[in-house]
Amino acid sequence: MWIPILIVVLTAYLLGSIPSSVWIGKIFYGIDVREHGSGNAGTTNTIRILGYKAGIPVFIIDALKGWLAVFLTKIIFAYFPSVEMPEYMSLVAAVAVVIGHIFPVFAGFRGGKGVATLLGVGFGLIPIPALIALGIFMIVLFGFGYVSLASITATVTLPIVTYFFVMPDNILLLLLTIAVAIFVPITHRQNIKRLLNGTENKFLKKK
C-alpha cells in the first residue's frame, strides 16, 4: 500500500516544484523574479516585473499543477488494482503539490505562496466552491485593487461556501478548506501589515 502512496506524494511534490515564474523569467527575460519586486515567485510579482505576457502563463501553469496532482492520484492507484485508494489520498496530494510550490526542489526551495496552485487543487476537488471563490477573488480585486486582500478574502470564505456543498458527506474536504483559510493569511502576514498600514501596493489602480 505504501508504494502508490509514496508515488502520489512524490509526483505531487515534484509537480508543485516546477517553478514556472522562475524558469519563464530566466529563459525568456534573463531575470529571476525573486530578486525583484516582492521577491515572490508567483503570478502577481511576475506580472509586475515581466508583464501579463509572462504572468498569464505562470498563473495557468501553477493552477494546472494543483489540478493535475489531484487528477493523477486516481490514475496512479489504478496501476495498483489490489490496493484500495484511501479516501484522504487526494487531500494528501493537494498538500504535497502546494508544499512543492512553496518549497520547490528545482528552485532552491524558494517558491511562491501557493494561491494559484490552491485554486487548481480546488477545481480538482471542489469545482463549484472553487469557482465561487474565484468569483469572490475577482470582485475584491476589481473593487479594491489588492491581490493580497482578494486572495485572503477568497480563501477565508471558502470553508463557508464549501460547507453547503460537501457537508455532511465529506468532512475531510471541509477541514482542508479550513486549513487553507488559516494557511493563506499566514503566508500573507506581511501583506496584512502593509494593508493595515496603508502601504500595500495596489495591483489595479483606480483612475
**pLDDT surpasses 50 at 206:** no
Average pLDDT across the chain, whole number: 93
Provide the percentage of residues in the chain whose pLDDT is more than 70: 98
CA 206-119-27 angle, to 5 degrees, is 80
Kindly list the domain boundaries of the chain, sorted by start residue: 1-124, 126-207
In the numeric block, which cell numbers belong to residue 28? 525568456
What is the distance between the alpha carbons of residues 80 and 69, in angstroms, rounded to a whole number?
Answer: 17
What is the distance between the alpha carbons of residues 127 and 58, in angstroms, rounded to a whole number?
Answer: 21
The 10s digit of each residue's pLDDT in 107-164 is: 999 999 999 999 999 999 999 999 999 999 999 999 999 999 999 999 999 999 999 8
The 10s digit of each residue's pLDDT in 65-112 is: 999 999 999 999 999 998 999 989 999 999 999 999 999 999 999 999
Residues ≥6 apart with Cβ < 8 Å to 7? 76
Residues ≥6 apart with Cβ < 8 Å to 136? 150, 153, 154, 157
**In the Cβ-directed half-sphere of 65, how many Cα atoms lie within 13 Å?**
30
What is the distance between the alpha carbons of residues 110 and 87, in angstroms, rounded to a whole number?
Answer: 31
Closest CA to 200 of 136, 135, 150: 150
What is the distance between the alpha carbons of residues 37 and 20, in angstroms, rounded to a whole number?
Answer: 17
What is the distance between the alpha carbons of residues 138 and 46, in angstroms, rounded to a whole number?
Answer: 18
What is the distance between the alpha carbons of residues 82 and 87, in angstroms, rounded to a whole number?
Answer: 16
Span between the terminal Cα atoms of the chain, in Å: 58
